[in-house]
């Protein structure tokens, strides 16, 4: 167990707070393997170990295609959460990631509980009760520690859900450390077989998403800034997926914007190597400046972020590129 004191405090809090309550478990917007896997087991714990009277689960905004595949693999459905009296946020790196549910969560009589492993889980003091540590590589890992601490005998479904979280949050175990690997082995002992769990999850993409990615590639411009390659593009949907695609094509940083009426969604993505060597965080240094200039909402992690603001797509891209020039201390040279 990485942080016994954190797990013990979380256990005490859930014991005290969730008995007889209508509890809602909420992921970050779009969801991902870690947030959904952690939510799946937390939901079981709340019902069976912490005696919540009802547990509902949802993903803010629209679940991504990958999230939908994981939901169906785990047999989970999204439910309304508005009438819950205790909100638990899992894997939510910034409150903006609650999208339209932010108000509902903040209006709740009980302070929401946050379980997360991101670096920047600073929620302005007392707005949420935080059980966070970036020593954990996945929220699923915190939930595994909690489940074992609470004395739960994990079901096969629990083990699969937690495996998915750890697998994807460590870039398919490529950056897993010793503790995470030990946990994965524990799950393997419970009968988790990666090939079985991952079948159908690796290649989930519908045609509209494929087309969005291909269009983003066709419309791409790219620049060299201080030796880094930065790609920009526009596409009306699936900006996050398109940004990921541009990174896999070879960009160090991808900025993909999509405009709907007067609102633009910008997805920012950077290779871990870029983040490590420049210390520029997509979710912090860039999105906060964009929000300052245009208003709107957004946030994320060091290497993945998203912001929604009132401005044209081209204008936002240009501004984001300027910010990168300033941060990197060099002019962008367009590569033709
Ligand atoms: Mn995570």
Tens of pLDDT, residues 275-315: 999 999 998 889 989 999 998 888 877 888 889 999 999 99
DSSP 253-292: EEEEEEEETTEEEEEEEE-HHHHHHH---IIIIIHHHHHH
- Give the angle 215-310-262 at the CA atoms, nearest 5°: 65
Q: How far is the CA of 106 from the centre of ligand 1 (A)?
A: 22
Give the model's confidence band at 119: pLDDT under 50 very low, under 70 low, under 90 confident, else very high: low
Q: In this predicted structure, what is the pLDDT of residue 173?
A: 93
The alpha carbon of 61 and the centre of ligand 1 are apart by a number of angstroms equal to 17
Distance 230 CA to ligand 1 centre (A): 25
Helices (H), the chain: 4-18, 33-48, 65-74, 102-106, 139-149, 156-169, 178-189, 194-198, 207-218, 239-249, 272-278, 287-294, 313-328
Point out the least confidently predicted range of 39-53, 106-120, 128-142, 158-172. Answer: 106-120
CA gap 142, 89 in Å, rounded: 13
Distance 332 CA to ligand 1 centre (A): 33
Contact present, 264 and 308 (Cβ < 8 Å): yes
How far apart CA 202 and CA 69 sit, in angstroms, is 9
What's the whole-model pTM score?
0.76
Tell me the pLDDT tens digit for each residue of 216-275.
999 999 999 999 999 999 999 999 999 999 999 999 999 999 999 999 999 999 998 999
User: Mean pLDDT throughout 68-89?
Assistant: 95
State the pLDDT at residue 20: 95
Instruction: State the chain's mean pLDDT as an integer.
Output: 93
Residue, of 123 and 6, whose pLDDT is higher: 6
Residue 115 CA to ligand 1 center (angstroms) comes to: 10
Query: Which residues are CB-contacts of 269 (< 8 A; sequence separation ≥ 6)?
Result: 240, 243, 244, 246, 247, 253, 254, 256, 282, 303, 304, 305
Cα 261 to averaged position of ligand 1 atoms, centre (Å): 32
Residue 42 has pLDDT above 80, yes or no: yes
What is the tens place of the pLDDT at every residue in 309-335?
Answer: 999 999 999 999 999 999 999 999 999
**Residues 53-71, mean pLDDT to the nearest whole number:** 93
Distance of CA 137 from the midpoint of ligand 1 (Å): 7
Question: How big is the CA angle at 241 (ends 41 and 300), to the nearest 5 degrees?
Answer: 60
* 4-198 and 207-335: identical CATH topology: no
HSE-CB of 91 using CA atoms within 13 angstroms: 31
Intra-chain end-to-end CA distance of the chain, in Å: 51
Average pLDDT of span 90-113: 90
Fill in the DSSP letter of residue 53: S
pLDDT tens digits, one per residue of 138-180: 999 999 999 999 999 999 999 999 999 999 999 899 989 999 9
Name the CA dihedral angle for 7, 11, 13, 16, rounded to a multiple of 10 degrees: -170
Separation of CA 139 and ligand 1 centre (Å): 5
Domain locations along the chain: 4-198, 207-335
What class has domain 207-335? alpha beta
- What's the 314 CA to ligand 1 centre distance in angstroms? 31
SS3 for 28?
A: coil
Query: 170 C-alpha to center of ligand 1: Å?
Result: 9
Q: Cα(90) to centroid of ligand 1, in Å? A: 8
Instruction: Record the tokens describing residue 52, joined without a space.
Output: 């919540």
Regarding the domain with residue range 4-198, which homologous superfamily does it belong to in the CATH classification? inorganic pyrophosphatase (n-terminal core) (3.90.1640.10)
- Looking at residue 302, what is its pLDDT? 83
pLDDT of residue 139: 97
Query: Smallest Cα–Cα separation from 101: which of 129, 77, 78?
Result: 78
Separation of 300 CA from ligand 1 center, angstroms?
Answer: 11
Phi-psi map region of 253: left, alpha, beta (phi>0 left; psi -120 to 50 alpha): beta
Expressed in angstroms and rounded, the spacing between residue 334 Cα and the centre of ligand 1 is 35
Confidence at residue 191, expressed as pLDDT on a 0 to 100 scale: 96
**Both structure tokens of 172:** 């398919």
């Amino acid at each position: 167990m990485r942080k016994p004191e954190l797990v013990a405090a979380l256990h005490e809090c859930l014991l005290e707070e969730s008995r007889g309550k209508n509890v809602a478990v909420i992921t970050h917007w779009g969801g991902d393997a870690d947030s959904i896997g952690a939510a799946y087991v937390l939901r079981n714990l709340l019902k069976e170990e912490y005696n919540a009277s009802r547990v509902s689960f949802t993903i803010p905004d629209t679940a991504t295609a990958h999230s939908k595949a994981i939901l169906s693999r785990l047999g989970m459905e999204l439910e309304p959460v508005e009438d819950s009296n205790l909100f638990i946020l899992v894997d939510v790196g910034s409150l903006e990631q609650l999208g339209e549910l932010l108000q509902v969560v903040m209006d709740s009589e009980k302070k929401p509980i946050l379980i997360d492993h991101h670096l920047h889980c600073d929620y302005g003091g007392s707005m949420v009760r935080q059980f966070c540590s970036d020593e954990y590589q996945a929220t699923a890992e915190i939930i595994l520690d909690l489940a074992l601490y609470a004395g739960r005998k994990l079901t096969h479904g629990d083990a699969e859900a937690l495996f998915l979280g750890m697998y994807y949050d460590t870039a398919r175990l490529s950056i897993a450390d010793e503790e995470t690997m030990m946990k994965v082995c524990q799950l393997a002992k419970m009968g988790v077989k990666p090939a079985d769990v991952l079948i159908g999850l690796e290649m989930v993409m519908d045609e509209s998403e494929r087309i969005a990615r291909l269009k983003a590639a066709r419309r791409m411009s790219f620049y060299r800034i201080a030796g880094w390659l930065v790609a920009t593009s526009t596409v009306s949907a699936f900006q996050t997926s398109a940004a990921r695609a541009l990174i896999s094509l070879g960009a160090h940083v991808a900025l993909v914007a999509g405009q709907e009426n007067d609102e633009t969604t910008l997805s920012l993505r950077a290779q871990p190597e870029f983040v490590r060597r420049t210390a520029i965080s997509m979710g912090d240094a860039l999105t906060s400046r964009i929000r300052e200039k245009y208003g709107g909402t957004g946030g994320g992690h060091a290497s993945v972020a998203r912001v929604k603001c009132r401005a044209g797509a081209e204008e936002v891209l240009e501004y984001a590129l300027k910010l990168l020039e300033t941060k990197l201390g060099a002019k962008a040279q367009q590569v033709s």
